[in-house]
Amino acid sequence: MNKAQFIAALAPHFNGSKKEAAHAVDIVFDTITRNMSAGNDVMINDFGKFKKVDRKARMGRNPFTGETIKIKASKKARFLPAKALKEVIAGDRKLGPAPKPEVKPAPKAAKPVAKKAAKKAPAKKKTAAKKVAKKAPAKKKPAAKKTVKKAAKKR
């Protein structure tokens, strides 16, 4: 599942609005990213833990040439799945029914407020004068005839 499919799956929970679902997904990803970059762990119960891991410098081997190379120290993102997620994936635990989207009733139309209307003179109807534009007669293209004549002369 990619991000667009994820947003489409969430859209029914946002009254069918993909724009609102995309905004929610972006906020969640941004929050996780910002906290991890600051060095904080992000723990989501029954799902897992996102954390930033420092990797030490080490020696490695170039598989093409076989020579040893030094690999620099780096920082990586790591996800550790929670026990509940592992159990669901392994099939040891059944997943409950998916939450159904909340169906909100359509907003009620506001009751029209009775206003005291001031007496106005009836509006005058304006008649639009129809203007008929005369089209110039279409010009024939004499160039087409010339090419036919030239082709006939060459034969």
Query: pLDDT tens track of the chain, all 155 residues?
Result: 999 999 999 999 888 889 999 999 999 999 999 999 998 999 999 899 999 999 999 999 999 999 999 999 999 999 999 999 999 998 888 888 877 877 666 556 556 665 555 556 555 555 555 555 555 555 555 555 555 555 555 55
Does the residue 123 lie in any domain? no
How many domains, in total, are found in the chain?
2
Range of the domain at 78: 42-93
Does the residue 30 lie in any domain? yes
Same domain, 86 and 50: yes
Give the other-Cβ count within 10 Å of 82's Cβ. 15
Does the residue 122 lie in any domain? no
Does the residue 145 lie in any domain? no
pLDDT of residue 63: 92
Does the residue 130 lie in any domain? no
Same domain, 28 and 51: no
